[in-house]
Chains A and B, each alone.
Chain A
Amino acid sequence: MSEKLQKILDTQGWVLADGATGTNLFNMGLEAGEAPEMWNEWHPDRIKALYKGAVDAGSDLFLTNSFGGNASRLKLHGAEKRARELSRISAEIAREVADTAGRDVVVAGSMGPTGDIMLPVGTLSHADAVEIFEEQAHGLMEGGADVLWVETVSAPEEYAAAAEAIGNVGAPWCGTMSFDTAGRTMMGLTSTGMVEMVEGLAHKPMAFGANCGVGASDLLRTMLGMAEANPTQPLIAKGNAGIPKYVDGHIHYDGTPELMAKYAVLARDSGASIIGGCCGTMPEHLAAMRHALETIKVGQKPDLTTISDQMGAFSSVSDGTGDAPAPERVRRRRRT
């Protein structure tokens, strides 16, 4: 169970997580529009190859192919009744890969967002969200996941619903959000806001942090913001391998293995201890990240200038944290 994750953290001081799922699966022939989770059943060999790619490159932890394996997302493929089953299979294949790795490797059961916006601004109720997450959590744990791994969430309400669902199942978990809008999540949550929100949860994650979002620079700024708020849990950094560019009819992520190696070291210096990639991060990136984390000593916490010098410019001037007053529109009179 989760002792394995704790053990690696304690002995190594950091954990190398995995990279991209989607980018790798598209390279293996996943057709756009297909639900990747169906491949757990149709092409278990390819899912196994996906997992092995991360493990062989040196990942201590990898995510199951179940990101969209909740009833709300699977409904788009007419498979909403199969959330538990498809999630279970994704974890079963992962268990087999981890158990034959010859070293401690953690299976993290991936749980992506529902894709719906929650009440009162949207349509999804808290109770329904909890039910949806709980079903998937059951499936992943039945399949042998060591921990559950909530990722790419934008709304604090949805993160809380996932926490409650996982609490009902009684499983350990980690959970990251995506900070892609002027340094905040799409719903406006800041990095320090997330630390506060996590502190208030009844069933707290073992570790939390950020994944995906814009580029590596923004993600590192998010890490600095979280570390500044003195979280009691380890921080997770899973950034994209650069930014996608459309070149001659196909897409290419501009992050090289060398750049991702630098990012991994900076992420650790910024306070993250579980470090991986997200979209565009392939096994060669992971291997370079592992090598860098093993050979380079922990350094000083970087400042924002160091980050932008090494990783590129930020997507926005401010990320909504710190002393700078938030811009506000002056109105005649506020009423509520």
Chain B
Amino acid sequence: MSDQEDDIILSELSDEELVPQIHDDLYDGLKEEIEESVNILLGRGWMPYDVLTKALVEGMRIVGIDFRDGILFVPEVLLAANAMKGGMAILKPLLAETGAPRLGNMVIGTVKGDIHDIGKNLVTMMMEGAGFEVKDLGINNPVENYLDELENGDYDILGMSALLTTTMPYMKVVIDTMVEKGMRDDYTVLVGGAPLNEEFGKAIGADAYCRDAAVAVETAKEFMAKKHNQMNA
């Protein structure tokens, strides 16, 4: 029985043992252990960006897979994301100092006419858990809210959510306005919500439809990777 084993002393683990231990501790939502481990790796001379990607983001990727597959559910995922944020708080100032590439900045909001926000809040928490910066505009957003925020900030991704069949067409209004203003191609547009599907996402001109919060994170990461590759090409 694992209970009978001695307590793990994190600082006594080698790097090869500590990184998988971090993945496990994220899975179990152990915030204090994550914070301790992040500090240990930094103390051993790890680059903040490596701590973020190899330890934390990879750990949350595993959480995301099991959420997608119906092994973990919302409460466990929120605890994991909370533990991740504990580690992220330590890394954030260091990442900026060392000029590490950012994972991505996102604006998210429920569209005009729609007051549902649980799914959108989950995506926000999972995206933050995966290391993204997220600006949450809340519910019932007219097109101006999205565009003003995009224009006044430094964003890569726009996320829109709708739960109602009557409000989901408004996503197209936002995308059409972006096209008119010549800013559509500057952003990756992700859409989600219970009544949507991939076909709808394509029909309105979004880059992708995301079935759930875990898929949103993976999709955002794919688009950010493409963007980095293009910039480096």
Contacts and interface: CB of A to CB of B under 8 A. Distances in A.
Interface of A: 22, 26, 31-33, 35, 68, 73, 76-77, 115, 117, 120-122, 154, 181-182, 184, 186-188, 244, 246, 249-251, 316, 320, 326-329, 331-336
A319 to B, nearest CB: 9
B156 interface: no
Contacts of A316: 70
Given A32-B166, A76-B115, A335-B8, A188 B30 contact: no
Contacts of A184: 70, 73
A328 B24 CA distance: 13
Interface string B27-44: 110100100000000000
A335 B28 contact: yes
Which of under 10, 10 to 19, 20 to 34, or 35 or more describes the interface residues of B? 35 or more
Interface in B119-173: 121, 139-140, 164-169
A255 to B, nearest CB: 14
Interface of B: 2, 5, 7-8, 20-21, 24-25, 27-28, 30, 33, 62, 66, 69-76, 78-79, 82, 112-118, 121, 139-140, 164-169, 195-197, 199-200
B117 A331 contact: no
- Residue from A120, A251, A327, A331 whose CB has the most chain B CB atoms within 10 Å: A331
A304 to B, nearest CB: 17
A32 B111 CA distance: 10
B30 A181 contact: no
Nearest to B115: A76
Contacts of B62: 329
A182 B214 CA distance: 15
Judged by DSSP, the binding face of B is loop
B113 A32 contact: yes
B70 A182 contact: yes
A143 B196 CA distance: 38
Given A32-B167, A246-B165, A249-B169, A76 B70 contact: no
A333 B75 contact: no
B73 A33 contact: no
Contact of B112 (A33, A186, A188, A332): A33
Nearest to B66: A329
Nearest to B200: A246
B21 A332 contact: yes
Contacts of A329: 27, 62, 66, 71
A41 to B, nearest CB: 18
Given A32-B114, A251-B166, A327-B71, A332 B28 contact: no
A329 B70 CA distance: 12
Contact of B24 (A33, A115, A251, A333): A333
A182 B212 CA distance: 12
Judged by DSSP, the binding face of A is loop
B71 A328 contact: yes
Nearest to B81: A121
A286 B121 CA distance: 35
A26 B164 CA distance: 11
B27 A331 contact: yes
A328 B27 CA distance: 12
B78 A121 contact: yes
- Residue from B7, B28, B79, B115 whose CB has the most chain A CB atoms within 10 Å: B115
A46 B199 CA distance: 35
A172 B20 CA distance: 51
Given A122-B78, A335-B8, A115 B117 contact: yes
A328 B21 CA distance: 17
Contact of B197 (A121, A187, A246, A327): A246
Contacts of A32: 112-114, 164, 166-167
A120 B66 CA distance: 21
Nearest to B30: A335
A171 B43 CA distance: 60
16 contacts: A32-B112, A32-B113, A33-B113, A33-B115, A68-B115, A186-B74, A188-B73, A188-B75, A246-B196, A246-B197, A251-B166, A332-B20, A335-B2, A335-B7, A335-B25, A335-B33
Given A32-B113, A187-B75, A251-B165, 5 more contacts: A120-B79, A154-B74, A186-B73, A246-B195, A251-B166
A187 B75 CA distance: 6
A181 B197 CA distance: 16
A181 B72 CA distance: 11
